[in-house]
Structure 1
Amino acid sequence: MLHVLTHDILPVFAMLALGFLLGRISFVSKAEATTANRIAFMVMQPPLILPLIAGLDWSAFRADVLAVYALCQVALFTAAYLVMRRIFRREPLESWLLAMATIFVNTLLYIWPISFLIYGEAAALPVTAIVAWDSAVSFSFFIVTTDLIAGRAPGAPPAWKRLATNPVLMAILLGLLLNLAAIPLPEPALTAMHFAGQAAAPLTLFALGVILSGQSLRVSPVIATASGLKLLAFPALIWAALSLLQPPETWHDLFTLTAAGPSGAMAFALALLHGVRTDAIAPVIVWTSTLSLISLAWLA
């Protein structure tokens, strides 16, 4: 457990801590971090996502296990959104992103690299399946719905035009088309995208750390509720549902491990892009990231 924590988990978590430190001493400003977040989201993520989706072997995944995982996401998301809106009276878009933070795990930028460090490519197939689902379906859903809920100021391009020119959605769609058509990406293109895509995770986590450095991390009822739903309710729901399904042990254990991961930084990235308040969303991500260090090391 200690070796996994020090050699596989903390090195990934360190970028968030570095951003927090440099933001605290005013070496990097919030405006600079916001720009870095936009670059990571719009520029570095597409080359990370496109080859991932284009090269997936969907037949290797357990469709029944993924279906159970998706149903658990829908159930908990609905409950979390209603809690944020009706009990805590948060604005619709903030409630939407807080609910997203309870079920959208940081698989692509956090769990995926950690799982590969611990288990290797073959053993991490279940995690890759969740990464594929979250990248191709869940992430697209939240990009589209967040944009539609947020709207735009008068004179801004219509929703269909904004979404059609979103580089992340374009990368997801192109990856799916290449995958279905069985068209391989040229090696030079793969090399370039691999080189650029490696910057997405550290840059996003670094920007999050900088933003957090200027905010209070005091635990409010909203933060405690969202964090508890993410770290306790979601993995417990996945564990219970998969125990009824009884898939292979590797799939059961790694899906539970992934569900116990921290809230995805994408909820924070979308909040910044759309000007949504982050005083609750950002602390949820940092607290779940911090507290999940122990649970991830133990489950791994």
Structure 2
Amino acid sequence: MQALATAVLPVFLLILLGYVIRRRGWLPAGFWEPAERLTYLFLLPALLATTLARADFSALPAAAMAGAVILAIAAMSALLVAFQLVTRKNGPAVTAVLQTSIRPNTYIGLSIPFALYGEPGLAIAALIVAVVVPTVNVVSIAALLRFGDRAPGTAGVGTAGSGPGLVKALVSNPLILACLLGLALNLSGLGLPPVAGETLTILARAALPMALLAVGAGLDFGAARTSGGWVVSAVALKLAGLPLLTAGFCLLLGVHGLPLTVAVIFNALPAATSSYILARLMGGAPSLVANILTVQTLVAALTLPLLVLFLF
């Protein structure tokens, strides 16, 4: 219980602080967008690269753990696609639920394992990021192409969703590139170069606090009041359904101990704000996504501590 209070709750207190800072106007409104961009392009990639470069994967069931996480995401995606094909419901709304049922908030997903388990937990979470980020991007874009509202003139459609556009988006994603760099340095035995490595390590220290403050600043409680059945579904699927699937596939593939714990926690996170950006670009009900993101983050402040308590 003490570990829960001293590790998980501070993560959500930082998120709350970000919300209060923005709500009170203690920083200029124009601060948050470049701060989030700085975190996404430089701080978080530095954290992922340095963590993966230093990690010891020798005793880690990396392939089985990655397989369990991907299978859980694939099963959830297949369920929602089948639901849409059978019911012919509102396509953009279904893509909103699908995105927010599989896309993790990487910032929170790195913070909690690190706070609970230190470097070993962070290394496992970083490895999960390396396989989850490309997977959820491919699934989300494919779903938006099939079921999104691709009206003429919709921003981003025709480039972001095309085959070459998708490949370009994946190979230029800073999180994916950072994971590849860290894994290459690790597996080659080179490790972090002395000067560059220390520079990246210093840069990485700012990643998690800045990221969590930005998550809080992006919350919109006013929008969340317009929630409906779609939001309830997305919250239940992401915070309960996906972690249960992940636990099941981990046990099926023989993943136990800390890898199972971190994998389940990672797939029990609220969705990423990138879901909103992609929905806005590709006709995927962005206002609904915004509602879901806020409610999921609020509910996760209760469900994640309970999950961690259960896993302990």
**Residue 240 of structure 1, aligned match among 243, 248, 252:** 248
User: What TM-score comes out, normalization by structure 2 length?
Assistant: 0.74
Structure 2 letter corresponding to 1:292: T
The 2-side partners of 1:247 and 1:167 are apart by: 29
Residues 4, 297 of structure 1: 8 Å contact kept: no
The 1-side partners of 2:183 and 2:214 are apart by: 29
Alpha-carbon offset, residue 130 of structure 1 = 4.4
Aligned to 2:234: 226
Residues 103, 275 of structure 2: 8 Å contact kept: no
Q: Aligned to 2:42, what secondary structure does the other structure show?
A: helix
1:279 aligns with 2:290: yes
Q: Aligned to 2:273, what secondary structure does the other structure show?
A: helix
Deviates more, 1:137-146 or 1:17-26: 137-146
1:14-54, Cα deviation, whole Å (9 max, x unpaired): 22101211222344566542332222212222212222333
Alpha-carbon offset, residue 249 of structure 1 = 4.4
The 2-side partners of 1:245 and 1:171 are apart by: 28
Alpha-carbon offset, residue 132 of structure 1 = 0.3
Residues 247, 260 of structure 2: 8 Å contact kept: yes
Closer, same or farther in 2 for the Cα pair 1:178/1:99, shift >3 Å? same
Closer, same or farther in 2 for the Cα pair 1:271/1:203, shift >3 Å? farther
**Residue 131 of structure 2, aligned match among 128, 132, 137:** 137
Q: Aligned-pair RMSD on alpha carbons?
A: 3.6
Alpha-carbon offset, residue 136 of structure 1 = 1.6
1:41 aligns with 2:40: yes
Aligned residues with identical type, % of pairs: 24
1:19 aligns with 2:27: no
1:268 aligns with 2:279: no
Alpha-carbon offset, residue 295 of structure 1 = 1.4
The 1-side partners of 2:253 and 2:139 are apart by: 31
The 2-side partners of 1:84 and 1:154 are apart by: 23
1:294 aligns with 2:305: yes
1:212 aligns with 2:255: no
The 2-side partners of 1:230 and 1:163 are apart by: 23
Aligned to 1:69: 69
User: What TM-score comes out, normalization by structure 1 length?
Assistant: 0.77
List aligned pairs for 1:160-239, cutoff 5 A.
Answer: 164-213=171-220, 215-218=222-225, 219-239=227-247
The 2-side partners of 1:164 and 1:248 are apart by: 32
Deviates more, 1:247-256 or 1:285-294: 247-256
1:216-261, Cα deviation, whole Å (9 max, x unpaired): 22342122111101221122223333444554445444544444x3
Residues 70, 135 of structure 2: 8 Å contact kept: no
The 1-side partners of 2:118 and 2:178 are apart by: 26
The 2-side partners of 1:232 and 1:176 are apart by: 31
5+ residue gaps, structure 1: none
The 2-side partners of 1:162 and 1:240 are apart by: 32
Residues 99, 275 of structure 2: 8 Å contact kept: no
